[in-house]
Amino acid sequence: MTDSVQRNSAVLVHFTLKLADGSTAESTRNNGKPALFSLGDGSLSEGLEAELLGLKVGEKKAFSLEPESAFGHTSPDLIQYFSRRDFTQAGEPEIGAIMLFSGMDSNEMPGVIREISGDSITVDFNHPLAGQIIHFDVEVLEIDPVLEATNANPVG
């Protein structure tokens, strides 16, 4: 076990994400369930990983990331238009609803219904926080936590 976050660490954290207007976008503190992240696995942006490197257990850090270092910029290529017929099995969509769509690779992708106009339904596949400056408040609870005993070591 290491005493600070490294490039390949698993880290258990509490975090709060706030937007420029001060509103909270997400917080693990609200439900009391910290998040486990693995640095270097591609699930976190390079900018976020860079801010976590070197932190120690119990340490707190507040920082802000520009869109390109957080959830990226909004891409017009990720806004798609569907026919109302495409929604016959899922039911009538509502503006603002998040729905799961099957991608070309059979993976599911969340999309937000942005507009319904006649037979056309506009779906936005950008991350909901894309294009925004994000203010992070992070507290490191554990580094490389032991999640479960995989091999029992008999004491003899």
Q: Model confidence over 81-104: pLDDT tens digits?
A: 999 998 888 788 899 998 888 877
41 Cβ contact list (under 8 Å, min separation 6): none
Q: What is the CATH number of domain 76-124?
A: 2.40.10.330
86: helix, coil or strand?
helix
The CATH number corresponding to 10-72+129-143 among 3.10.50.40, 1.25.50.20, 3.40.190.10, 3.60.20.10 equals: 3.10.50.40
* Residues 110-140: tens digit of each pLDDT: 899 999 999 999 999 998 899 999 999 999 9
Domain map (residue ranges) of the chain: 10-72+129-143, 76-124
Q: What is the dihedral angle through the alpha carbons of 18, 19, 22, 25, rounded to the nearest 10 degrees?
A: -50
146's tokens:
């032991």
Alpha helices by DSSP H, the chain: 46-52
Structure-token match 């880290």, residue found: 11
Categorize the per-residue pLDDT at 31 as very low, low, confident or very high, splitting at 50, 70 and 90.
confident
Query: 77: buried, middle or exposed (CB in 10 Å: 19+, 13-18, 0-12)?
Result: exposed
pLDDT of residue 148: 53
